[in-house]
Chains A and B, each alone.
Chain A
Amino acid sequence: EVLLVESGGGLVQPGRSLRLSCAASGFTFDDYAMHWVRQAPGKGLEWVSGISWNSIIIDYADSVKGRFTISRDNAKNSLYLQMNSLRADDTALYYCAKLIAVSGYWYFDLWGRGTLVTVSS
């Protein structure tokens, strides 16, 4: 079965750190770029970060640049998001998503169920 499973979320105090993981299965993980997308409670989708298949191309939303670090381990079929200096507005459900390109068009064809990060004192 083709699957993405996020983990590592939880309640954390402002200023602290958290590391999210995403375990992939059912497809050739190192063929694809992977991304993190978050959704604050009751709000819309916000792209957070993305990483190419070989980790050479990495990008971040301005809202997390300098605080979050994306990485991947293709041998373990896993994607990570190291989140430092967390703020209350980082509170969200964090989704792992697989990016695919077809005929020059890029979109997310597979999403995990998300892991909830709550930043509060």
Chain B
Amino acid sequence: EIVMTQSPATLSVSPGERATLSCRASQSVSSNLAWYQQKPGQAPRLLIYGASTRATGIPARFSGSGSGTEFTLTISSLQSEDFAVYYCQQYNNGLTFGGGTKVEIK
């Protein structure tokens, strides 16, 4: 099973600042990596697929990069609605999620 490790577990950021979230795979997943956002009491929402392609309706402040085993989700200027938990997910070999990064208000 491919293990996905996200860091940090919690990220404290002020509104307007940049947030950088990391996701590492225990073996290569090529670019078969997606990012989801989850707010309390809501289902996850797709942000990024193919490591770097924004899903429909996702603002340009969200960007994804990386391939192989190292991936990054960047939120260029945090808005109030962006404070949430973010998960990465691979489907290159089986299907696994990372443990999540909570982005909280500093």
Contact = CB atoms under 8 A, between A and B. Distances in A.
A binds B: yes
A102 interface: yes
Interface in B51-106: 53, 55, 85, 87, 89, 91, 94-100
A48 to B, nearest CB: 10
Interface string A106-120: 111101111000000
A62 B95 CA distance: 12
Which bucket holds chain B's interface residue count?
A: 20 to 34
A121 interface: no
A108 B34 contact: yes
A47 to B, nearest CB: 5
Interface residues of A, number: 22
Interface of B: 1, 31-32, 34, 36, 38, 43-46, 49-50, 53, 55, 85, 87, 89, 91, 94-100
